[in-house]
Chain A
Amino acid sequence: MSNANVSVLPSRPGTGKTVRRRPGVGKSVSVALLVIGAVGMIAPFLWMFTTSLRDASHAYDLPPQWLPTEWDWSNYAGAVSGPVPILKNMFNSAVIAIAVSIGMIITAPMAGYAFAKLEFPGRNSIFVGLLSSLMVPAQVTIIPLFLLMRTFGLLDNPLSLILPGITGALGVFLLRQFFLGLPQEIIDAARMDGATAWQTYRLIALPLAKNAVSTLGVITFLGSWNAYFAPSIFLNSTDTATLPLGLVLMLGPYGAGNVAQVMAATTIAIAPALIVFLVAQRWIIASLTQSAVKG
């Protein structure tokens, strides 16, 4: 769009074969726009962090200070020792997210492998059925799930979030895509050598899927760590609450909580996303985009 008028500008001679209609001026306008956008993306996080390092009385100082004016970590101590048991909530979130991720990286690759590489009657209809569950929004199943958990006495229990989380169609889909790309000869060769189906999967196919499985694990972990809707309905005491629920409690109605402490707790809560982002950004982006573009 902003490129529309770029072509009227004269092209620079001698800058290479394809630069003809892409002069430097257009590019610096692009960079300027991108910088503005990027600042808008990062500024709220910067404000969060610097506010967490200030005394609460300076939290809303105007004009806003974008860089830390002091390095006061007492808000972090205050956040974890306040009326909301933030550390316990974080522990609850971690237990659920880890359990769900481990379950998912066991169940999804097995199913994905079966749908990609094994022949069995009904294979395709079962797969399509599973995929159709992606169309079912959580809000539709939440009421029956609530009643189910209530019947089995699992309300206010982390199992109410772990059990539904350890299987899922999206992971099966991602891993099936991966295994479809695995040459059949590798599988056949292993079978010729006398490996059982399980051995072929466990010793040959699964190790090759290491990256896909790690990505699935990371995506599942973050999804669970960030979840709010189901936890807000299944969990109803501060001791079983997950971190997002704890933070909303801490914030209080209409943002009445101590804002510096809330920002300190939020900074802690965001840390896993930041770590994942720094470590695994490339894989996540690749696996998230492949289904849309290659389909």
Chain B
Amino acid sequence: MTLTAPQTQLPPAPPSGRGGGPGHRSAARRREALTGYMFTAPTVIGFLVFVLGPLVAALYLSLTKYNILTAPKFVGLDNYVRMFRDERLATTYGNTVLYVGAAVVLINGFALLFAVLINQRLPRALTYVFRSAYFFPYLVALVYVSIIWQALFQKDTGILNYYITAMGGERIDWLNSSEFSKVSVIIVDTWRNVGFAMLIFVAALQEVPKDMVEAARMDGANEWQVFRRITLPMISQATFFNITITIIGAFQIYESIIVLTRGGPGDASRSVVMYIAEVAFNKFDMGYASAIAVTLFVIIMLVTLVQFRLRKSWVNNE
């Protein structure tokens, strides 16, 4: 794919850029257009082959019955109808929606709290240390942090239960009870993603005009009023962005659950993506798996479009 680069060596431009007549100019324009197509060709080809093509194929497959061994058989909307009767799908979608809700509230809540705290005039080195500490987990693979956490979550040997019992609490079955398996997934998800959302909030907080805040204080507004009436509206773009990112990310939650609970007990912590992978690659029910994946795509597309709309209207209101 990178081979296109040398081919863009075009004949040298005419010595004088402005001397040429209209014919000359359109030749230059054609050459520029050709260069544009060549520069974008690898990316466009990659997009067609690895994104658009597969997306169209997934939409088609979702209308078929296909087990890999025999050719796909067109079944219309059967797969979509089947979803309404699928209790495991209801369970896994229910779990996923819970993860999404928890992610939106907890990640953004903690992120905003820490961002506001960090945005005070702390010594530079301190700000740097805090920012680094909160951001680091985000750079580490979710699989790796989940491996660490599953050790901390062990019922009899884990550190968390040690401190809980030391403070007089009961041992919690973090990974094998139907309630706490979900809680564990949520804890790891929040812990890993809070730093990124925090950075977005910090960047936005720094753009809030100081004189505006000062003026409000002069007029007798208290800190809460300043935060509520000035800061929050001023960072609304970052908030929309963070909410969108956390929604999209949580709908796709997968590998942390594989490591922590394997979806169990039963389906108690299983996410919809785990269910898609199971239907597709263990049961080879490609048509039905594609249909479920399409519902996920539609949800994510709608969330993105809504965010895009809100963002636009916010900009227009400025």
Contact = CB atoms under 8 A, between A and B. Distances in A.
A126 B40 CA distance: 9
Interface in A237-295: 244, 247-248, 251, 253-255, 259, 262-263, 266, 269-270, 273-274, 276-277, 281, 284-285, 288-290, 292-293, 295
A82 interface: no
A31 B120 CA distance: 10
A177 interface: no
Interface residues of A, number: 115
Given A30-B120, A244-B143, A114 B1 contact: no
Nearest to A171: B43
A41 B35 contact: no
A277 B136 contact: yes
A143 B286 contact: yes
Contact of A120 (B33, B158, B202, B255): B33
Contacts of B289: 143
Nearest to A195: B13
Listed residue (A5, A137, A276, A290) with the most chain B CB atoms within 10 angstroms of its CB: A137
Given A3-B224, A141-B50, A198 B8 contact: yes
A7 B154 contact: no
Contacts of B39: 110-111, 113-114, 118, 201
Interface stretch (B87-95, B98-106, B109-117, B177-185): B109-117
B238 interface: yes
B117 A34 contact: yes
Interface string A65-79: 000000000000000
Given A48-B148, A135-B301, A115 B29 contact: no
A34 B119 CA distance: 11
B46 interface: yes
Given A21-B223, A113-B39, A141-B55, A33 B46 contact: no
Contacts of B254: 228-229
A119 interface: yes
A4 B113 CA distance: 12
Interface in B118-166: 118, 120-122, 126, 129-137, 139-145, 147-152, 154, 157-159, 162, 166
B9 A120 contact: no
Contacts of A62: 157, 159, 162
Interface in B253-280: 254-255, 258-259, 262, 273, 276-277, 280
Contact of A141 (B11, B51, B140, B145): B51
B40 A114 contact: yes
B191 interface: yes
Interface in A51-65: 51, 60, 62-64
Q: Which 10 pairs show the lowest CB-CB distances between chains A and B?
A: A167-B46, A120-B36, A226-B141, A144-B54, A114-B39, A144-B57, A60-B157, A141-B54, A120-B33, A38-B133
Interface of A: 1-8, 18, 20-22, 26-27, 30-31, 33-34, 37-38, 40-42, 44-45, 47-48, 51, 60, 62-64, 103, 106-108, 110-111, 113-115, 118-121, 123, 126, 129-130, 133-148, 150, 163-164, 166-169, 172, 191-192, 194-198, 201, 222, 225-229, 232-233, 244, 247-248, 251, 253-255, 259, 262-263, 266, 269-270, 273-274, 276-277, 281, 284-285, 288-290, 292-293, 295
